[in-house]
């Protein structure tokens, strides 16, 4: 993986859509995409849908970290979905582990609250709308720095 191609991937698992944002290390290019998965969101099916999405947008695995924002309670390590009123079937789901096995990359989970708080403090200048997926990509960048 060449450092000139390094990018950061953020995903928003929303109630009606899944959105993704990729931006490159130098913030020169931002790619945003969204799709409507089948409802209801079942954790296993969402894992496979995200794997396809990430592989299609980043087939050469340039993303160093992937951060996923979702309306849920997440454990303190950002690995397990503890529960969510918006996603009732998501209780004690090791979503992070499932995706890391498929993607062979580091994945973190963030609550909407964390993503939105981080977005308010962002130093990245962008003409694109700063939504949860964008903020999650920024969190991936921060995790890489630390």
Q: List the pLDDT tens digit at each of the 146 positions of the chain.
A: 444 577 888 898 887 888 888 877 766 667 888 888 766 678 998 898 899 889 988 888 888 789 898 888 999 998 999 998 888 889 999 999 999 999 988 899 988 887 766 555 555 555 455 677 777 777 777 766 66
Q: pLDDT at position 119, please?
A: 57
Annotate the chain with three-state secondary structure: CCHHHCEEEEEEECCCCEEEEEEECCCCCEEEEEECCCCCCCHHHHHHHHHHHHHHHCCCCCEEEEEEEECCEECCCCCCEEECCCCCCCCCECHHHHHHHHHCCEEEEEEHHHHHHHHHCCCCCCCCCCCHHHHHHHHHHHHHHC
* Look-up of token digits 């903020």: 135
Would you give the distance in Å from CA 5 to the centre of its chain?
18
- Give per-residue pLDDT as tens, 65-87: 898 988 889 999 989 999 988 88
Domains held by the chain: number? 1
pTM, to two decimals:
0.81
CATH of the domain at 101: 3.30.420.40
**Strands 106-111 and 63-70: what pairing?**
parallel
User: What domain range includes position 47?
Assistant: 3-145
Q: pLDDT at position 40, please?
A: 64
């Amino acid at each position: 993986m060449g450092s000139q191609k390094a990018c950061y991937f953020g995903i928003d698992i929303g109630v009606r859509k899944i959105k993704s944002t990729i931006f490159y290390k130098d913030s020169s290019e931002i790619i945003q995409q969204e799709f409507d998965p089948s409802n209801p969101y079942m954790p296993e099916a969402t894992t496979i849908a995200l794997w396809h999405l990430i592989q299609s947008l980043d087939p050469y695995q340039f993303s160093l970290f992937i951060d996923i924002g979702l309306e849920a309670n997440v454990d303190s390590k950002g690995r397990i979905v503890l529960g969510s009123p918006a996603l009732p079937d998501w209780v004690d789901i090791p979503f992070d582990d499932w995706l890391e096995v498929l993607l062979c990359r580091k994945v973190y989970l963030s609550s909407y609250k964390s993503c939105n708080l981080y977005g308010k403090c962002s130093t990245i200048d962008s003409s694109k709308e700063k939504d949860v997926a964008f903020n999650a990509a920024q969190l991936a960048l921060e995790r890489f720095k630390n």
